[in-house]
Amino acid sequence: MQTTLSEQELVRREKLSRLQAAGIDPYPAPLYPVTHHSADIKAAFTEENKEAFSKVCVAGRIVSINDKGKVFFIKIQDSKGIFQLYVKRDELCPDEDKSFWENVVKHGLDLGDIIGATGYVFITKTGETSLHTETITLLSKSLKPLPVVKRDEDGNVHDAVTDPEFRYRQRYADLIVTDGVKETFVKITKMKNAIREYLNQQGALEVDTPVLQSIPGGAAARPFITHHNALDIPLYLRIANELYLKRLIVGGFDFVYEFSRNFRNEGMDRTHNPEFTVLEFYVAYKDYYWMMETTEQMLEKVALATNDTTVAKVGENEINFKAPYARVSIYDAIKEHTGFDISEMDEAGLRDVCKQLNIPVAPSMGRGKLIDEIFGEKCESNYIQPTFIIDYPIEMSPLTKKHRTKAGLVERFELMVNGKEVANAYSELNDPIEQRERFEDQLSLMERGDDEAMFIDHDFLRALEYGMPPTAGIGFGIDRLAMMLTGQSSIQDVLFFPQMRPEKG
């Protein structure tokens, strides 16, 4: 962290002191009666309706100051864009006392300061819609200079800030200086709202389940561990909310969903952040075939709501979310992309395949993990258009119902988009005896050293013993879906505040 002030920061603090000495509060009371925003004025103002803009109050951050002596052209940025203020000394300070002009406008303002202005709207000789300013109020003095972004006369950026260390660590500043960042997060909100609207229309109930859990269940992942002082017990930040949502199905709800903030104590890269958002929903009396149809119908509607089209461009790829999506079994996918038919192979055979394919594996990996590694390394990246990978081996899916016609498989699919998993869904296992056996298989993997194997959740087993109806469930990686619908290549670009390494110093 910076401990000494730069020359510019010292200058700004000197200006702050001069303003205070002149009796000007650089951080006045918060209420300021804004009446209009930049984009709304530009869209609506004409010479014919100018009377409607004769008394306007705007506010925003200064992004440019053009000093013409007794006239200043100041551009401010509000939440909807950039707007120009025309400030004339003799109209701002009509009497003989020009101290406000000298103390504030000429010598007190800096780029980054937040100001308010009142006046009337007009069009300058150069054709720019502007505010003929009658009053200016300093609302917040900026003590740290923002990075300088060069723009041409049309507002196009030619020297954007690209340093990821700055952009992700100081997102508050990135939002100010980097074009398109706000728009990305506005789209993400549209996406989430569209999902909620679709599910609510289908009769789903949005719920909340615990973040602090006594057992990190519902997924194969390494948890974060904390401690509850009053109870003197370890607790885990949830890695998934699946088992709690299925408890609600046991309790009599037919259709529940949750936007769940999950935590996994694993690596970070362009598609993984230790804190992330998952949408999970569970529906009684449905199966994974129904879930595939529902998924593609929902995503088509969500893509349209987010971008006004079902097509999203990610890098060089154009991804079409229009239903229906292709369906490929995981064994067929592996055979197509590796040449190996692994459907009848045991663990030893799979290890030999991994060796031939130069895929590193650990001794703790069982048959399911080995298949997962082969698919992830050699197949996943080939599925750019939305594709359901279906019918997984039972060893890969401890919470999934056995396939009704295919021995050794379960009724599961993963949705692949742009070479990454976006969703994972099952016909849920509701046999409590078989579920206990599957958990015990996971326990044996844990004893072999697999620190991502599932814990046995005895309370969940107790819930299943009361009886859970046939159920379909799914989990969506909301951040990955957001990446695709907003055209971003890194998960850090769709999280306001992604996890960062400790700042040096």
Residue-wise pLDDT for 58-92, tens only, equals 999 999 999 999 999 999 999 999 999 999 999 99
pLDDT in tens, 282-317: 999 999 999 999 999 999 999 999 999 999 999 999
Which residues line the annotated binding site for Mg(2+)? Answer: 414, 421
Amino acid at 323: A
Asked, as a colleague might, if the bond just before 30 is cis with ω within 30 of 0, I would say no
For 353, phi and psi rounded to 5 degrees?
-60, -45
In the chain, what's the furthest Cα-to-Cα distance? 94
Residue with tokens 């973040």: 211
Mapping DSSP to helix (H, G, I), strand (E, B) and coil, where does residue 317 land? Answer: strand
Can you give the residue ranges of every domain in the chain?
7-145, 182-325+385-494
3-state class of 385 per DSSP?
coil
| pLDDT for residue 173 | 95
| Unique residue bearing structure tokens 């990955």 | 480
Q: Distances from the Cα of 82 to the Cαs of 43, 129, 174, 218, in angstroms?
A: 13, 11, 16, 47
Query: Token pair of 340, please?
Result: 């190996």
Question: What superfamily does domain 182-325+385-494 belong to in CATH?
Answer: Bira Bifunctional Protein; Domain 2 (3.30.930.10)
8 Å CB contact between 258 and 248 = no
Please check whether residue 470 is in contact with residue 462, taking contact to mean a CB–CB distance below 8 angstroms: no
Crossing angle of helices 478-486 and 288-307, rounded to 10° = 40
Residues of the chain with pLDDT under 50: none
SS (H, E, C) 67-126: ECCCEEEEEEEECCEEEEEEEEHHHHCCCCCCHHHHHHHHCCCCCCCEEEEEEEEEECCC
Amino acid at 459: D
* CB distance 168 to 500 below 8 Å: yes
Binding residues: 414, 421
Model confidence pTM above 0.85: yes
Burial of residue 152 (CB within 10 Å: 0-12, 13-18, 19+) is exposed
Q: How is residue 157 annotated by DSSP?
A: B
Q: How far apart are CA 325 and CA 322, in angstroms?
A: 8
Q: From CA 209, how far away is CA 213, in angstroms rounded?
A: 10
Q: How many CB atoms lie within 10 A of CB 425?
A: 26
Separation in Å, CA 96 to CA 68, 90, 100, 101, 137: 20, 9, 11, 11, 20
| 206 SS3 class | strand
Strand partners, 282: 256, 473
* SS3 (DSSP) at 343: coil
Pick the CATH number of 7-145 from 2.40.50.140, 2.60.120.260, 3.50.50.60, 3.40.50.170: 2.40.50.140
Say if residues 461 and 432 touch (Cβ distance below 8 Å).
yes
Q: Which amino acid is at 134?
A: E
| Residue 431 confidence (pLDDT) | 95
Give the list of residues 6+ apart from residue 361 with CB closer than 8 angstroms, or none.
351, 354, 369, 370, 373
Q: Between β-strands 71-78 and 81-88, what pairing exists: parallel, antiparallel or unpaired?
A: antiparallel
Distance CA 499, CA 505 (A): 18
Amino acid, single-letter form, for residue 45: F
